[in-house]
Amino acid sequence: MASHPDELERTIARLTREPDPLHMAGRRRFFVTALASGIAGASLPALAQPAGVPAGAGSGRLTIGDGGRGPSRIHPSFVKDVGLMTDLNATNQGGAWWNFDTYITPVSQFYVRNAFRTPRAEEDSRVDPRHWRLRIHGDAVERELTIGYDDLLKMPSRSIISVMQCTGNGRTLFWEQQDMVADPTRVTGNGWGLGGVGQAEWQYVPMSHILDLVGVKRNAKSVLFWSGVDGKKPNTESDTGRPMPYADVMERPDDIGLAFKMNGAPLGPDHGAPVRALVPGWCGGASTKWLTEIKISSHDVWVRLNTYDHTLMGPDYPPPRPTEGDEFRFVRPDQLLGIPVTWQEARSMLAIPLTLQKQPDMPSNYPLARGEMPVLRAGPQVLRGYAWAPRTGVKRVHVRVNGGRWEAARIIDPQVSRYTWVRFEFPFNPGPGDYLLETRATDNEGGMQPDSVPFNKGGYNFFAIPRFKVRVAA
């Protein structure tokens, strides 16, 4: 199984048809020790319990920080300690996916994607549960309604486990694998690597209940989830919110709702406290945090996040056209530039950091230097990863080594619902050398991760097969 760096180069060149010389930094600061073989075949998802790792035992896996729990890091934009996250920029923190072990992602490891600083209850009464109000109105409701936090808590609620993923997750791979770094196919945005995803248990009041309360008219066409707390210019242009077609809500009105708990605790400020929208399976951008308004209308509504931001923009994506009577909030008709992102396709990843060579900015505390490969030890081991396909659920995961045959990985979690991810593992017994590892998820309708995905300007929906380079130490 051993291979030479040259061979890895040739494999990558063959797969990409774009030779791309590795720039080895030569620094081996981190050593990834995969789980020893003989991992307990835990098949029941445990809440926030590491799988197969004895409590208290150092897994030896690559960590942010000094090999322990990661340093505490208080950042002015966020309320939670972000010491376990990669620092992408002023308002975005990525998950350290190579450290992910658990079925449920603990809040301390859950990515934060904010367009702006997290609003704090001390400074803004609109996000203080004592003063929070949610207004549900629009020309397509029978009875307008305003509720407070206590009213919401008295309503019937449900709990689901669901992946939340930023549609920009994997954008890094547009740069690394598809070379979309320079014009004319230049992709811009946060370099998440694969850290713009997590899975939580959400408690929420389903939209079915809310819609019953207000009474929806026959002419309902769109449902706008609006924050109005954060935005381009807070208070004057608090332009964050996201509309959905009413038909898409009615397809699953019990699954979509107003979330107030995450992993059993009240929602934290960084994740939308006191109440956020929850649209499982769609891009995270549809799950508006710091929710204050729901507007149900007989017309389409256009806002920043379904026009010139958060939409698929590029030659393969003809934008929609506005129609007579549409509503525009802080946008103009000429700003309908792309197709709103909705469902997330089948994806998979290994719990191994990506070798970053081309991405414009390195996250400030990424554990590998530019061009550096993670190092595995030689000999038998079990590699692990995650796969999700919220439209229909994950059917299978395959792995291949150095462009060889696709081999089935072992899925170790039950598919609790289509919205949940599964962990998988496969045996790996390498000799010293460099390797290319790829993972491919297949969903329950046969949809399979492709080799590449078409360009879009914002670098959204990168669901192609991810490629992991690893070096096995002699």
Residues found near ligand MTE in the complex (CB under 6 A): 110-115, 164, 166, 227, 230, 240, 271-272, 284-285, 287-290
Percent helix, strand, coil in the chain, to 5, is 10, 30, 60
Q: How far apart are CA 416 and CA 382, in angstroms?
A: 24
How near is the Cβ of 168 to Mo ion at its closest, in Å? 6
Q: Which does 171 bind (CB under 5 to 8 A by kind): ligand MTE, Mo ion, none?
A: none
**By CB under 5 A, is residue 113 in contact with Mo ion?**
yes
CB within 8 Å of 303: residues ≥ 6 apart: 224, 226, 239, 241, 242, 243, 329, 330, 331
Which one-letter amino acid corresponds to residue 257?
G
Which residue lies nearer to ligand MTE by CB, 279 or 436?
Answer: 279
Q: Near Mo ion by CB under 5 A, which window of 183-191, 260-268, 282-290, 459-467?
A: 282-290
Which residue lies nearer to Mo ion by CB, 289 or 295?
Answer: 289
Beta carbons of 272 and 289 less than 8 angstroms apart: yes
Which residue lies nearer to Mo ion by CB, 193 or 285?
Answer: 285
How near is the Cβ of 474 to ligand MTE at its closest, in Å? 40
**By CB under 5 A, is residue 276 in contact with Mo ion?**
no
Q: Which does 384 bind (CB under 5 to 8 A by kind): Mo ion, ligand MTE, none?
A: none
Which residue lies nearer to ligand MTE by CB, 256 or 411?
Answer: 256
**By CB under 5 A, is residue 284 in contact with Mo ion?**
yes
3-state secondary structure at position 158:
strand
Which residue lies nearer to ligand MTE by CB, 192 or 366?
Answer: 192
With tokens 């509503």, the residue in question is 327
Beta carbons of 257 and 100 less than 8 angstroms apart: no
Which residue lies nearer to ligand MTE by CB, 111 or 302?
Answer: 111
Beta carbons of 208 and 254 less than 8 angstroms apart: yes
Our separate counts of H helices and E strands in the chain read 5, 27
**By CB under 5 A, is residue 368 in contact with Mo ion?**
no
Which residue lies nearer to Mo ion by CB, 175 or 468?
Answer: 175
393 sits in the region (left: phi over 0; alpha: psi -120 to 50; else beta) called left
Beta-strand pair 375-376/31-32: parallel
Q: Residue of minimal CB distance from Mo ion?
A: 166
Q: Judge residue 289's burial from the number of C-beta atoms within 10 Å of its C-beta, 0-12 exposed, 13-18 middle, 19 or more buried.
A: buried
Q: Which does 230 bind (CB under 5 to 8 A by kind): ligand MTE, Mo ion, none?
A: ligand MTE
Beta carbons of 375 and 472 less than 8 angstroms apart: yes
How far from 287 is each of 44, 202, 297, 317, CA to CA, in Å?
28, 12, 19, 23
Neighbours of 67 (CB within 10 A): 13
Q: How far apart are CA 345 and CA 362, in angstroms?
A: 26
Which residue lies nearer to ligand MTE by CB, 82 or 296?
Answer: 82
Q: Which does 105 bind (CB under 5 to 8 A by kind): Mo ion, ligand MTE, none?
A: none
Which residue lies nearer to ligand MTE by CB, 163 or 389?
Answer: 163
Alpha helices in 196-327 (DSSP H): 207-214, 246-250
Q: Which does 112 bind (CB under 5 to 8 A by kind): ligand MTE, Mo ion, none?
A: ligand MTE
How near is the Cβ of 447 to ligand MTE at its closest, in Å? 22
How near is the Cβ of 340 to ligand MTE at its closest, in Å? 12
How near is the Cβ of 269 to ligand MTE at its closest, in Å? 10
Q: Residue of minimal CB distance from ligand MTE?
A: 284
Q: How far apart are CA 472 and CA 474, in angstroms?
A: 7
Beta carbons of 404 and 426 less than 8 angstroms apart: no
Sign (positive or negative) of CA dihedral 454, 456, 458, 460: negative
**By CB under 5 A, is residue 166 in contact with Mo ion?**
yes
Q: Near Mo ion by CB under 5 A, which window of 100-108, 149-157, 166-174, 444-452?
A: 166-174
Subset of residues 285 to 304 that bind Mo ion, contact rule: CB under 5 A: 285
Which residue lies nearer to ligand MTE by CB, 105 or 297?
Answer: 105
Q: Near Mo ion by CB under 5 A, which window of 25-33, 57-65, 164-172, 360-368?
A: 164-172
How near is the Cβ of 194 to Mo ion at its closest, in Å? 14
Which residue lies nearer to ligand MTE by CB, 203 or 287?
Answer: 287
Phi, psi of 372 (to 5 degrees): -75, 140
What DSSP element (H or E) covers 302? strand 301-302
Q: Near Mo ion by CB under 5 A, which window of 20-28, 55-63, 98-106, 107-115?
A: 107-115
Q: Give the angle subtended at the CA of 211 by the CAs of 320 and 280, to the nearest 5°.
A: 60
How near is the Cβ of 398 to ligand MTE at its closest, in Å? 28
**Residues making contact with Mo ion (CB under 5 A):** 113, 166, 284-285
